[in-house]
Amino acid sequence: GEFSVHYQPQVDARGNRIVGAEALARWQHPQLGAQSPTEFIKVLEDSGLILEVGTWILDEACGAFAQLIADGLVDPLNFSLCVNISPRQFRQNDFVERVEHSLKQHGLPFSLLKLEITEGIVIQNLEDTIAKMHQLTAMGVSFAMDDFGTGYSSLTHLKRLPVDTLKIDQSFVRDAINDPNDAEIIRAIVAMAHSLQLKVVAEGVERQQQLQFLQSLECHIYQGYLHSRPV
Ligand code: C2E
Ligand code: CA
Ligand code: CA
């Protein structure tokens, strides 16, 4: 009972409307206090415990949104509930069934769910990954490529994978105002996303200036402390 899930809003800056939320795991240790997700997720991944915990996180997030929908606070047909999926989770044989089970159990439309994957997932087993992604997209689930630009970023993979969203990594957003190289990388990612007809979400937006820069490139959807921390 020490794990919990927080949610960070995704905002459309044109009108300041919340269009989605990312589920983020939290671990409050009774003696050591709040633990860094980056660190404990890695331990869960390396030990294999991520399979159990990841299933719990997905289920918890689906339950929370079923409640928000029941309370009339979220429009289920115009919202993305984004859940991070680690490589090992994605590789488990019954991953597709587990996702299906969580959504059905809570009576959620499949289109509500967007799974955030990283390039690490893709590299480990391309054919299996593509097959599972196709099964899930056929049901209505969508995919975002997380931390885009930091990993292997193979354009060949991007072309083959049914992702509909790119998430610009926060390391680029952080320095976009001061570092012309980071600004150019963002410009290139947004231009590529637009020409491939992908949606693009910027992460880690903390300052109004960063948002203005992103909006000047027609990137309007963002997550970051500027609007809200994970809550
Ligand atoms: P991520 O998927 O890239 O998540 C975004 C991280 O950026 C989160 O860190 C979030 O709290 C943080 N963030 C959001 N807005 C801002 C901002 O304006 N400024 C700054 N400096 N940071 C911001 P968090 O929650 O510490 O999570 C770290 C990483 O741990 C995540 O990176 C993700 O890779 C992993 N993680 C978290 N929850 C889960 C989960 O449920 N499953 C899996 N597989 N991984 C998770
Ligand atoms: Ca993420
Ligand atoms: Ca990210």
pLDDT given at position 202: 98
Mean pLDDT of the chain: 95
Average pLDDT over residues 2-24: 97
What does DSSP say about strands 17-29 and 80-84: parallel, antiparallel, or unpaired? Answer: parallel
Ligand 1 touching residue 59 (CB < 6 A): no
**Residue of the CA atom closest to atom 41 of ligand 1:** 25
Ligand 1 touching residue 231 (CB < 6 A): no
Alpha helices in 48-125 (DSSP H): 50-70, 87-91, 95-105, 119-124
- Judged by phi (left if over 0) then psi (alpha if -120 to 50, else beta), residue 9 lies in beta
* Residue 225 CA, closest ligand 1 atom number: 18
DSSP, res 135: H
φ, ψ for residue 151 (rounded to 5)? -100, -140
Q: Cα(73) to centroid of ligand 3, in Å?
A: 26
Pocket mutation for ligand 1, best pick of 3, 24, 207 (most atoms within 8 Å of C-beta)? 24
pLDDT given at position 6: 98
pLDDT given at position 153: 63
pLDDT given at position 157: 78
**Residue of the CA atom closest to atom 15 of ligand 1:** 224
Amino acid in the structure at residue 208: Q
Contacts of 9 (CB under 8 A, 6+ apart): 18, 20, 21, 223, 227, 228
State the Cα torsion 203-123-155-119 to the nearest 10°: 0
- Using one digit for the tens of pLDDT, what is the confidence trace for 69-121? 999 999 999 999 999 999 999 999 999 999 999 999 999 999 999 999 988 88
* Residue 8 CA, closest ligand 1 atom number: 14
